[in-house]
Structure 1
Amino acid sequence: MNSNTVTPVVLVPQSVLDELIQEVKAVKEICMNRFQENKTGEEWLSSEEVKSILGVSAKTWQKYRNEKRIPFSQFGRKIYVKKADLDAFMEKHKIKGRND
């Protein structure tokens, strides 16, 4: 650093600093989780996320599971689907356009 450079000092209330630190930690955790998911190549989606992506009702999603259209894992009442399996399902049911 140049000896003639002035470094500004900013004063902020402790509560603002604490809140900022918490937000940075939350963002860091989200990033680390995304990194881990991408590292393993296996992101898991909840039932709510799957229903939203497919645009189906809870009843239709239940029917898809009963018919074993999409592989899923269940732990107690929680149901999860690998993103890769959902992508494969979507690709399998893709209707090609005239130019495809």
Structure 2
Amino acid sequence: MKNNNKDTRTDKPSLLDPWITLADLARFKADLINEIKSILSEGKIDENRKWLKSFQVRQMLNISAGTLQTLRSNGTLPFTKIGGALYYEYKDIQNILDKAKVDKSKLKWKFTN
């Protein structure tokens, strides 16, 4: 009986082949990274959208739910409520940021770079 030690495996694993190669791991890594990037990119805010939900506004401004509630309550940030969901116009958020912009020339102390 002759033992043939030739490696007959191909680059792609089959269901009958229990061995995992470095190429298999590299392919799995690339697929996993692409999937994670896809999931993370879904949470990004599209600046072309007219309306944003509360979680998007909190993410955009890096504020808590309580701070967002305060901005709604004191009239700083207009909103629309449909059912139980709150929506904010992107332009209103931009206006708030523009109003809060600091003019360095009017400060008593100076920034150093």
Measured against the shorter chain, the TM-score band is 0.5 to 0.7
* 1:45 correspondence with 2:52: yes
Q: How far did residue 92 of structure 1 move?
A: 0.5
Greater Rg, structure 1 or structure 2?
Answer: 2
**Higher helix proportion (structure 1 or 2):** 1
Q: Which runs of 5+ in 2 are unaligned?
A: 1-45, 106-113
Q: Considering Cα pairs closer than 8 Å and 6+ residues apart, tell me whether 1 or 2 has the greater RCO.
A: 1
2:62 counterpart of 1:55: yes
Give the alignment's Cα RMSD to 1 decimal.
2.4
Q: Name the count of aligned residue pairs.
A: 62
4+ residue runs over 4 A deviation: none
Runs of 5+ unmatched residues, structure 1: 1-33
Q: Distance in 1 between matches of 2:60 and 2:50?
A: 14
1:77 positional shift: 1.4
Distance in 2 separating the partners of 1:61 and 1:82: 14
Q: Distance in 2 between matches of 1:77 and 1:63?
A: 18
Query: What is the CA–CA distance in structure 1 between the aligned matches of 2:62 and 2:55, rounded to whole Å?
Result: 10
